[in-house]
Amino acid sequence: DVKVTQSSRYLVKRTGEKVFLECVQDMDHENMFWYRQDPGLGLRLIYFSYDVKMKEKGDIPEGYSVSREKKERFSLILESASTNQTSMYLCASGIAGEQYFGPGTRLTVT
Amino acid sequence: QKEVEQNSGPLSVPEGAIASLNCTYSDRGSQSFFWYRQYSGKSPELIMSIYSNGDKEDGRFTAQLNKASQYVSLLIRDSQPSDSATYLCAAFKAAGNKLTFGGGTRVLVKP
């Protein structure tokens, strides 16, 4: 079974803090993804990576950056958290459209 | 127009009946299509993939694809209360390695 784990299930941060969300997969997938999911807006792609140290912007990259130093690990960084970044963050890994999601991190920025 | 459109529901189905979910997509360059199931408070889980026109069956699930009409559907036969969830349709395009999700259809199976 594919396993994708995320560092936290729930996180509360203050406006302006730097936030790190980490994701680890154990299936040796080259592709990894970060999404956010909001009611009424659905799943939106923030960034993805197709190889170590490679990244591509998704639909909503503003305010975020990513890091992929090892194949199994993909980190999402909020450089200066804002209240409009309160959301559910989902990491996935996979091949093409077959993606396997982690349990998600519910981030609240106050 | 959203790239992948679904009726948000809820689609209410009696236990044992067939649930029929529909999805349309706008990008004719989309090559493959996927259905994900998401239980409340959980993350999406891949349940079906379909790559060519026609039907694909897997247990109680049947996915249907019509590329000419840009239409994808999912049938759930013998619906169970445990099928109550939101079902996300997604279209994949190799150029750009992009998977685009619809907003999801909420399904309620009533005993």
Q: What is the pLDDT of residues B7-16, one digit of tens each?
A: 999 999 999 9
Q: What is the pLDDT of residues A2-55, one digit of tens each?
A: 699 999 999 999 999 999 999 999 999 999 999 999 998 889 999 999 999 899
Is B102 within 8 Å of chain A by CB?
yes
Provide the number of CB pairs (under 8 Å) joining chain A to chain B. 45
* Beta-carbon separation of B32 and A96 below 8 A: yes
Q: Which SS3 state, helix, strand or coil, does residue A83 take?
A: helix
Range with lowest mean pLDDT among A93-97, A101-105, B1-5: B1-5
Is A46 within 8 Å of chain B by CB?
no
Under the banding of pLDDT at 50, 70 and 90, the label for residue B96 is: confident
DSSP string of B24-43, one letter each residue: EE--TT--EEEEEEE-TTS-
Residue B84: pLDDT above 70?
yes
| Other CB atoms within 10 Å distance of the CB of residue B57 | 12
Q: What is the pLDDT of residues A40-87, one digit of tens each?
A: 888 999 999 999 989 999 999 999 999 999 999 999 999 999 999 999
The predicted structure's pLDDT at residue B98: 87
Under the banding of pLDDT at 50, 70 and 90, the label for residue B97 is: confident
Distance of residue A14 Cα from the nearest chain B Cα, in angstroms: 24
Distance of residue A85 Cα from the nearest chain B Cα, in angstroms: 18
The answer to whether A29 and A45 have CB atoms below 8 angstroms apart is: no
* Beta-carbon separation of A90 and B90 below 8 A: no
Q: What is the b/e burial string over B9-24, where b = at least 16 CB atoms within 10 angstroms of the residue's CB?
A: eebebeeeeebebbbb
